[in-house]
Structure 1
Amino acid sequence: MVEPCIELESGRTRYRLDGPHEAPAVVFVPGATLPMFVWDGLADTIADAGHRVLRYDLIGRGGSAAPRIAYDANAFDAQLTELLDRVLPGRPVHLVSLAFGALIAARFAEARPERVASLTYMAPDGFGVEMSAAVRLLRYPLIGEALLAIAGKAMLLNRLPDYSDRAEVVKALREKFEPHVSAPGFRRAVLSSLRHMPIHDAGDLYRRSGERGVPTLVLWGRNDRVTPLPDRERLRAAMPSADLQAFEDTGHLPHAEDPAEVAAALTEFLRVAEV
């Protein structure tokens, strides 16, 4: 299907709505690079289970606009807030987020806890990862721009095997992602996001969000090489009240590798949160 776009002050946004109109709303927030197709399968299962499901492309990604702005917390928060005001007005929502998207969901929940029925973080960013020399160079002005212009497509595509040890998962990601890598403004948006978002240290953000009392679930693959599962003490310090479910033999995208178990865990969590 062709997803519609909506014109927002923060930029044109591509989105998709599925499931019964009056059902509890679940919003899927993607990560730093992959558009909303990253939720294919899980989002459909949640919609089929009787939820109103919203997926969307972050600004600078997929079918959304890529304005020349600082891609910081304010920009992503404005996009999510405007989108919900337009397509799910006046309704509390369950936020389900992946990696970089967890930073966006946590910021939204911290500022507007009354609008959030629950939070689910899948492999959330913000716990520090080992950066390659190339990624460290991206953080420097001019050098980062030049590096992305020369080798950005290869760098982004070469990361995909780290998402999963399963060849079929990586192959499907590449086929869906490759058409987006050369889109105007995409690499610029990713670079700006890397420089402006707390992808390596978001412990304080998660703690503040957790203090709002929103039910929180953390889903993580034990073999995640992109955002490795931190030690229990560090995770509990940032998310003391969260329920952690770790999945064996899965990587960065447990919902693509173990779809039945992940869908069951999320469905049960949403059911309890609705009570």
Structure 2
Amino acid sequence: MPSSASFQCVTLTLLILPAIVLALYFLTSFPHAPDALLVNPSLASLPKHIRSWHIYPEDVYSGGAYVSFPPGRTRYWLLGPEDGIKIVLIHGLSVPSLIWKEVAPHLAERGFHVLLYDLYGRGYSDAPQTTYDVSLYTTQLALLLQYIGWDSTNLCGVSMGGGIAAAFAVQFPHLVQGDVALIATTGVVDAADLSRTSRFLSSPVMQFITASAPFRMYLRHLASNASRIDNACDELVRIQSAHLPGYNPAIASSIRDGPIRALAPVFAQLGRQMRKRAKGAAGGGRVLLVWGTRDSVVPYQYAARVRSLIGDESASMVTLDDAGHDLTVTRGDDIVQELVAFFGNEGAKE
């Protein structure tokens, strides 16, 4: 009879061998083709009776068009004379390009050639089911500039758009003429300054719940029965949240993975880049920071930190007293005045 040790050895081999064979199979088998990217629709898919068409119509600005990129369609607008100083306006976390309504047309009237567009997951741009990190946003803008034929441009971003502008200038320096304006920019926000609601709703578990069909039906019920909101931007956020299945995941992923935090190295690199450009023959290489003292979303205390990272010699600071976070809406005239003074004189051409 076989010994006890031999029996145990055979038993162990029979148990382990299938696992080894299975592991080798998975390690050496030819990989399956990846699943196709799921792309959720934009505001353009909603019925015409939904109030978004009144608050934020497709033709809210002149010169609007769509372009299709691998992650989905992007809605953009071109305003102002083609020979004017080029400037890209980048909106923030939750409100699409409606946020520039008090700024963009006035810059165009002053002779600037203005590009606006909706970020993925907002407004009239599609919402791919993917990670909404810095690379997604900067690549979207790089592809858009290539499509419209802009070799280089100035940048202006508000809130999360400021973080995107800074990261874009660092990742694609050859596409930036030299000047960048950051309005109440994110990028170095501490987790403690994010509201508990934001942190809770952006968690993976809550995103699974909010992406479910019953929950979205509940949101649509609330939106259809709630009274209208005087603030158009707030109502547009509510409509997107209730009717667009890709909106809430895009917001949550942006908070977790996007240009809200961890951009301190980007701001430092931006400063070094700007100082190098300022020493060149072509000049340029300036950063403008604009902040409101009553900003409760990205508190005013971050202004000094961002300026320190960029460097005082490269970054100038404009403080708007008693102003909150939505500067482009509530202080549009001031923003236009500061941007005209920063990027060029009225009617200036390239």
Q: TM-score range by the shorter chain?
A: 0.7 to 0.9
Return the offset for 1:243. 0.7
Q: Which residue of structure 2 aligns with residue 141 of structure 1?
A: 204
Question: Which residue among 147, 163, 169 is the counterpart of 1:109?
Answer: 169
Q: Which residue of structure 2 aligns with residue 172 of structure 1?
A: 232
Does 2:143 correspond to 1:82?
yes
Question: Which residue among 80, 89, 94 is the counterpart of 1:19?
Answer: 80
Q: Which residue of structure 2 aligns with residue 228 of structure 1?
A: 299
Does the C-alpha gap of structure 1 residues 229 and 26 become closer, same or farther in structure 2, counting only changes over 3 Å?
same
Question: Which residue among 182, 185, 189 is the counterpart of 1:128?
Answer: 189
* Unaligned stretches of 5+ residues in structure 1: 158-167
Does 2:344 correspond to 1:271?
yes
Number of residue pairs matched?
Answer: 261
What is the RMSD of the two structures over their aligned residues, measured on CA atoms? 2.6
Q: Which residue of structure 2 aligns with residue 30 of structure 1?
A: 91
* Unaligned stretches of 5+ residues in structure 2: 1-57, 224-228, 275-284
2:252 aligned partner, one-letter code: L
TM-score normalised by the chain length of structure 1: 0.86
Q: What do the CA deviations read for 1:16-53 (whole angstroms, capped 9, x no partner)?
A: 11100122211001111100110111111111100111
Partner Cα distance (1:217, 1:239) in 2: 10
TM-score normalised by the chain length of structure 2: 0.68
Contact 1:11 1:79 in 2 (8 A): no
Does the C-alpha gap of structure 1 residues 231 and 6 become closer, same or farther in structure 2, counting only changes over 3 Å?
closer
Contact 2:295 2:323 in 1 (8 A): yes
2:182 aligned partner, one-letter code: Y
Contact 1:27 1:96 in 2 (8 A): yes
Contact 2:107 2:336 in 1 (8 A): yes
Contact 2:289 2:303 in 1 (8 A): no
Identity %: 28
Tell me, what secondary structure is at the counterpart of 1:12? strand
Return the offset for 1:199. 1.2
Q: Which residue of structure 1 aligns with residue 331 of structure 2?
A: 258
Partner Cα distance (1:123, 1:148) in 2: 30
Q: Which residue of structure 1 aligns with residue 116 of structure 2?
A: 55
Does the C-alpha gap of structure 1 residues 259 and 137 become closer, same or farther in structure 2, counting only changes over 3 Å?
closer
More displaced 10-residue stretch of structure 1: 2-11 or 120-129: 2-11
